Amino acid sequence: MVFVRAILLSFISLAVASPLQNLVLHEKMNAIPDGFAHNGPAAASTTLNLRINLASNNMAGLEDALFAVSTPDSAQYGQHLTKEEVEAFVAPKPDTVAAVNSFLSANGLTAQTISPAGDWLSVSMPVSKANDLFGAQFSVFTNQANGQQAIRTMEYSIPASLVGHVELVHPTVTFPATFGAPKFTSPGVQAPSTATALVGDAVPASCATTVTPSCLQALYGIPTTRATQSSNKLGVSGFIDQFAQNADLQTFLRAQRPDLVNTTFALQTLDGGSNPQAAKDAGIEANLDIQYTIGVASGVPTTFISVGDDFQDGDLEGFLDIINFLLGEAAPPQVLTTSYGQNENTISRALANQLCNAYMQLGARGTSILFASGDGGVAGSQTTSCKTFLPTFPSGCPFMTSVGATTGIAPEVAASFSSGGFSNFFARPSYQNSVVSSFLTKLGSTNSGKFNVSGRGFPDVSAQGVNVEIVSGGETGTVDGTSCASPIFASVVSLLNDRLIAAGKSPLGFLNPFLYSAAGSAALTDVTSGTNPGCNTNGFSAGAGWDPVTGLGTPNFAKLLTAVGL
Ligand SMILES: *[C@@H]1O[C@H](CO)[C@@H](O)[C@H](O)[C@H]1NC(C)=O
Ligand SMILES: *[C@@H]1O[C@H](CO)[C@@H](O)[C@H](O)[C@H]1NC(C)=O
């Protein structure tokens, strides 16, 4: 393995050194990612469908605009940008377009624009041409876990004329991710628990062992009254052929929310996506996500967005495509929840940056973007061997809200699998500077050298994620995971948006500047015990204030209403 790698790298050095091409090294992987084997050069005639990301004319300006509309004490708070305003920041400059067009036409290539702002192009060419143009050595790599092959290169260059105009070429150095879905921990037919009548704020004792919508309503004070605003939308992302079943949803509602029976979801598809309804097609993740949005965000119009397998984003499983799809809409959902992710070290820094910039764009439009933080504790999205902690993507991106998991009711404690930590790609954003500094001071030298002290800390918030009851394929069972927590927190945000819209106010949009404000953090219940072990350590500990296990804490609906000014 080491020998193969050494040969591969020496070939690449020769290609890059070629004086004729005037190439500049752009991205490089130092080692083949764990779990992949190198199987020799890719056939010269194989067609590669490459994506090229062009430099935007003013991404820094968009970031300023995002914070201006998302920071509660700003004069522009709530004045989210239009599609055209966002595109004006993101579009490449004319000289960038000219440089890239001249490169393409000189090489007999035609590109298609695949994003609304024109910052992403798609272009096809044979491996031989891609090797020449980008000083690459495209090779076949096999994922040893599932046998799937991918054509990648350990490094690539770009012509000197494109430096400053091209952010990245993909897929090149980013290897296909392994996406996780939660395990159905108690499969088998069992009687569904039924909704418990609640008295005041009492949380039923059964919630300590089985979490249902009633438990969440009691624990977080989430209202059961129906939302009233039809313009308010909650989007639920679906990937990897995980399908949401209406029949399972109705079985779930009959047991848990009889008042909501017959409520269903709208469907949007992209990349050839679908949502087949045969019992065998039931997806545990998709059912969980749809049952804990519709069953919690009472009456909020909910859309299942099913991303198919014809990705335009090059083995990113549609992760980029879904954002570009929503950016193309006149009225994207005000909340988007996603319970998929990957380890940050499986994605190139340049690609992570551009995906994060896509979240920035959608946030500026007024969408709250929530993701599950991952289920491997400090070891990342799945438990692997590790010497240093593995942050997850996109939780390290500062323009989204990462949701960790808790368990128990009196009090809630951190779920031991709740991923949290510090990004190696994204620096700590100012909104969390003070609470993260306090955490690091209290931490002292614990875990020193195992994480990046200057990185963006995550998760931001948390919600229940253990023994959550769902129905899938006609069977009732429970699931564990931060996959439970993200739709639950997203539902709370959607219900707040319903009240805000009804009061003639703007929806919350990008949440973090609000959540980390004094008013926002005071409206969350701090979770102060539990740890997220991994990598042969005890991980981090939850404690008073923000921590990289449960973030700022879990929602308190009444306090949040006050904090948003209602
Ligand atoms: C749900 O829809 C079915 C079929 O249309 C109908 O028979 C039933 O009464 C409805 N239930 C509720 C609670 O609305
Ligand atoms: C640590 O994080 C910063 C971003 O804050 C990044 O620039 C740096 O490369 C990271 N260090 C390592 C070793 O990954």
Write the pLDDT tens digit of every residue in 424-456.
999 999 999 999 999 999 999 999 999 999 999
User: Average pLDDT for residues 520-542, to the nearest whole number?
Assistant: 97
Q: What is the pLDDT of residues 349-377, one digit of tens each?
A: 999 999 999 999 999 999 999 999 999 99
CA distance 1 to 563: 56
469 labelled catalytic: no
pLDDT at 178: 61
User: Average pLDDT for residues 9-25, to the nearest whole number?
Assistant: 54
SS3 389: coil
The number of residues in the chain equals: 566
User: Average pLDDT for residues 266-271, to the nearest whole number?
Assistant: 96
- Active-site residue, selected from the candidate residues 87, 271, 289, 375: 289
Residues 6 or more apart in contact with residue 88 via CB below 8 angstroms = none
Our answer on whether the CB atom of 424 is closer than 6 Å to any ligand 2 atom is yes
pLDDT at 139: 97
**Tokens at residue 283, please?**
């997806």
Report how many helices (DSSP H) and strands (DSSP E) the chain contains, helices first: 15, 25
What residues does CATH 3.40.50.200 cover in the chain? 221-563
SS (H, E, C) 33-82: CCCEEEEEECCCCCEEEEEEEECCCCHHHHHHHHHHHHCCCCCCCCCCCC
pLDDT at 410: 86
Neighbouring-strand partners of residue 36: 143
CA distance 427 to 420: 15
Closest to 374 in 3D by CA, of 279, 485, 470, 468: 485
User: Average pLDDT for residues 153-171, to the nearest whole number?
Assistant: 96
Confidence band of 18 (pLDDT split at 50, 70, 90): very low
Closest to 37 in 3D by CA, of 8, 76, 13, 68: 8
Question: Dihedral of the CA atoms 523, 342, 284, 458 (nearest 10)?
Answer: -10
Q: What is the pLDDT of residues 63-90, one digit of tens each?
A: 999 999 999 999 999 999 999 999 999 9
Among 262, 263, 264, 298, which is best to mutate for testing ligand 1, by the most ligand atoms less than 8 A from CB? 262
More confident residue, 354 or 17: 354
CA distance 125 to 132: 11
Our answer on whether the CB atom of 353 is closer than 6 Å to any ligand 2 atom is no
Confidence band of 380 (pLDDT split at 50, 70, 90): confident
Give the count of beta carbons closer than 10 Å to the beta carbon of residue 37. Answer: 13
Q: What crossing angle do the helices spanning 284-294 and 482-502 adopt, rounded to 10°?
A: 30
Min mean pLDDT across 115-124, 193-202, 276-285 is at 193-202
SS3 6: helix
pLDDT at 361: 98
Confidence band of 179 (pLDDT split at 50, 70, 90): low
User: Average pLDDT for residues 264-269, to the nearest whole number?
Assistant: 97
285 labelled catalytic: yes
Give the count of beta carbons closer than 10 Å to the beta carbon of residue 114. Answer: 17
Q: What is the pLDDT of residues 457-478, one digit of tens each?
A: 999 999 999 999 999 999 999 9
Mean pLDDT across the chain: 90
Minimum CA distance residue for ligand 2 atom 5: 427
CATH code assigned to 221-563:
3.40.50.200
Spatial contact of 472 and 287, defined as CB atoms under 8 Å apart: yes
Work out which ligand 2 atom sits closest to the CA atom of 422.
2
Work out which ligand 2 atom sits closest to the CA atom of 428.
5
More confident residue, 404 or 187: 404
Closest to 371 in 3D by CA, of 452, 289, 469, 470: 289
DSSP state of 30: S
Residue 424 Cα to ligand 2 middle (Å): 4
**Tokens at residue 94, please?**
């004319």
Name the binding residues for Ca(2+). 526-527, 545, 547
pLDDT at 382: 62
Half-sphere exposure of 397 (CA within 13 A, CB side): 30
Work out which ligand 2 atom sits closest to the CA atom of 426.
4
Residue 454 Cα to ligand 2 middle (Å): 7
Minimum CA distance residue for ligand 2 atom 4: 427
User: Average pLDDT for residues 273-282, to the nearest whole number?
Assistant: 91
Is residue 2's pLDDT more than 90? no
- Active-site residue, selected from the candidate residues 298, 423, 483, 491: 483
289 labelled catalytic: yes
Is residue 183's pLDDT more than 80? no
Give me the sign of the Cα torsion angle 95, 96, 98, 103: positive
Closest to 292 in 3D by CA, of 461, 469, 414: 469
